Each structure stands twice: as C-alpha cells, then as structure tokens.
Amino acid sequence: MRVGLIVDSACDLPYEFRREHDLFVLPVTARIDQQTYIDEHDPVRTQEFYQSGLLQKGHHAETEAFSASQIHDLFMEKIVTEFDVAICETVTRSRSLIFDHATQAMNTVMANYRSVRSAAGVPGNFSMRVVDSKQIFAGQGLLAAHTLTLIAKKLSKNALRNEIERFTGNIYTCVIPRDLHYIRERARRRGDNSVSALVAFLGKALNITPVIFGQGSEGQPVAKTRSFDVAVEKVMNYAIGRIQAGLLTPYVSLSCGMSWTEIEELPGLNRLRDACEQHGVELLLSQMGITSSIYVGPGSLCLALGAEPHHFRDFQ
C-alpha cells in the first residue's frame, strides 16, 4: 500500500526534508501589490521575496486558498495514480479555507478517480483523508514529520488517521511576532479582531515583543520582553528545557521569517542544536515560507514541539 502525505504551503519544513520524503505541497495564491504569485514553498522563490522586500508591511499582501476545483484537478493529476492512500494535512481551518476546499475536492475525487487510475494502468482502489492540523507554520511541519513516522509503521488507514488526529492535541507552539502593527493590519483585512489596536500601539511605542504560546494555533501571550533577542532566548530556553524533560516525537520544528544569515545569528540557536543532538532529536530548521510570512509578518519566529501538558513558565 503506497501512502502519500500532502501538506499546504503554509507548512514550514526544510526543503531537503520535504524532498527526501516526497511530500506533495498544495499551493496557495499570494497577492502582493496587485500581482499574483503561486506559493509552492520553493526555497529559491522564497529567498527572492525576502531579498526584494515585497513582504514588508508597506506592501499590500494577502493569501487565498486554491479553489475546490483547482485542488480537485491537482489531486486527479498528481495524487490518485501515485498513491493508494493519501493524507492531506491543512493549516488550521479556523484561519483558512484550505481545509474546506480540500475536503470538497476529496469528495469529487473519490467519486471520479477510478477512470483515471484505469487509464494509467494502476490497479486497486484509492482513498483519501483531509485532516485539519489545527496548527500553523512550524506546528504543521512538526505534525507532518510525526505523520511520516506513523506511515513508516504501516498502520491501518483508520489507525493512522486516529493517531494523526490524536497527536494534534499534543503540539505546543511558540510565536514571536516582529511587528504587532503588521499582524493587526493583516488580521483586520481578514476580519479577525483578535489583535487589538491598543496592544499593537504598546508594542510599537514601548518596543515590547511578546511570546505567544499555546496548543496549536490557539496561543496566548506568556511573556513580554523589551527586545526580539530576549524573546528568542526565552523560547530557546523553553525548547531546551522541554527537550530535556522529554518529547512525544523526536523533532523540534523551527521556522524563521528572515534571511539565513539572520537565522544563524539567533541567540541560543546553537544551544538548541546541542540539546537536540544530545537527546536524539532532529531540529527541523527552515526559512518561513511566503504564506507564513504574509500571515505573521517578516522577521517573525515560530517553534513547535510535541509533549505532555505543560506551561511555558515551567521551562524558564
């Protein structure tokens, strides 16, 4: 049984990791200053966007999910003849229409795949499952990496689905936004009022950088710092402490909306690498994709790991 994993372009993972494991990336449409781009999480295109400055707040940028029809066509062309079972993990449905559109596409694919497989000379049935990851960015990447370990165990289709959905509740995510004004403006355009004007103003006026922490995409501020570097140190300390206490999957996912030179200069990164090496954990370090950067803002950071229930303050 050939099992394939599909993620969308909001999922942050190292390019080499995605290529090694043959992950299929469901694209997202990005519109910047009335120009349309297809974000397939290509590392070269992503680097060009960072260098061009198109992701800065002076530009009008937004993302849009592929339509159900577009996703249907991709699944029929790229997926149904390559795999017998396909798992599609999407960014949290509370922040995007990708889950809804992918689910609609799955239903039409399941009704029409047989003729495509027959024409390609592929025997047997095909099945799909669309999963709401309940995650964003690095959290999606962590779920994808864990899912690959489950696929390697050759679980039944139902057992695989149940294990994936259970694990989503064990993912903890830290986000450090570089610019609260950016987040507020992007949220306002989406009709999301979760970031207040007052918080945005204080963040700018007092140079406050928050650490947002929680399960999946439902995070709350757990620290307010006077600089981005101090916030990064807190997140690194948290991750190292949690690694030492034990994880539920041997991965830590870290994505950063900045150049690789800036990433390598992050305070505490080498300490995190050392902790991962000492405890047999793989650090999935990636440059935040175009979709992620448009959502949370360039210069931001997102870290995710899988663990038993705990609080951020337990590891400070």
Q: For the segment 107-120, what is each residue's pLDDT rounded down to a tens digit? A: 999 999 999 999 99
pLDDT tens sequence across 223-262: 989 899 999 999 999 999 999 999 999 999 999 999 899 9
Region 115-140 average pLDDT: 96
Spatial CA neighbour of 106 closest among 147, 69, 159: 69
The predicted pLDDT at position 204 comes to 62
Full set of structural domains in the chain with CATH: 3-169 (3.40.50.10170), 170-315 (3.30.1180.10)
The predicted pLDDT at position 216 comes to 82
Amino acid at 194: S
**Count of CB atoms within 10 A of residue 220's CB?**
10
- Is the predicted pLDDT of residue 306 greater than 80, yes or no? yes
- Is the predicted pLDDT of residue 122 greater than 60, yes or no? yes
**Positive/negative CA dihedral, 292, 297, 298, 299:** negative
Structure-block tokens of residue 41: 């999480």
- Is the predicted pLDDT of residue 196 greater than 60, yes or no? no
pLDDT range class, residue 30, cuts 50, 70, 90: confident
The predicted pLDDT at position 232 comes to 98
- Is the predicted pLDDT of residue 58 greater than 60, yes or no? no
